[in-house]
Amino acid sequence: MNNLKKKFEMGESAIGTMISVFDIPALVNILKNCGIEWFFYDAEHGYPNIDRLYSIFGYARFIGLPGLIRIPEISKTEILRAMDMGVDGIICSNVKTEIEAREIVRLSKYAPLGERGVSLTRPHTSYKQLDALSYMEKANNNTMIICQMESLDGVNNLDSILKVNAIDGVLIGPNDLTQSMGILNQLDHPKYLAVVSKIIDICKKNKKIIGMPSKNIKMLNYWKDKGVQLLQWGSDVSLLMSKIKEELKR
- Helix, strand, or coil here: 29? helix
Single out the residue of 152, 146, 166 nearest to residue 209, CA to CA.
146
Q: Per residue of the chain (250 residues), what is the pLDDT tens digit?
A: 578 999 999 999 999 999 999 989 999 999 999 999 999 999 998 777 888 899 999 999 999 999 999 999 999 999 999 999 999 999 999 999 999 999 999 999 999 999 999 988 888 888 888 898 999 999 999 999 999 999 999 999 999 999 999 999 999 999 999 999 999 999 999 999 999 999 999 999 999 999 999 999 999 999 999 999 999 999 999 999 999 999 999 9
Q: What is the pLDDT of residue 1?
A: 58
CB–CB of 203/209 below 8 Å?
yes
What H or E segment, with its residue span, contains residue 197? helix 190-205
CB–CB of 220/233 below 8 Å?
yes
Q: What is the pLDDT of residue 247?
A: 96
Q: Using CA of residue 20, residue 16, residue 155, residue 106, what is the dihedral sign? A: positive
Residue ranges and CATH numbers for the domains of the chain are: 3-249 (3.20.20.60)
- Check whether the bond before 66 is cis (ω within 30° of 0): no
Digit-coded pLDDT (tens) for 91-106? 999 999 999 999 999 9
Q: What is the pLDDT of residue 104?
A: 98
What gap in Å lies between CA 121 and CA 1, rounded to an integer?
20
Tell me which amino acid residue 78 is.
E
Task: Give strand pairing partners of 16.
Answer: 38, 232
Q: How far is CA 109 from CA 127, 200, 205, in A?
A: 19, 26, 24
Task: Give strand pairing partners of 68.
Answer: 40, 89
Q: What is the pLDDT of residue 50?
A: 86
**Longest alpha-carbon distance in the chain:** 59
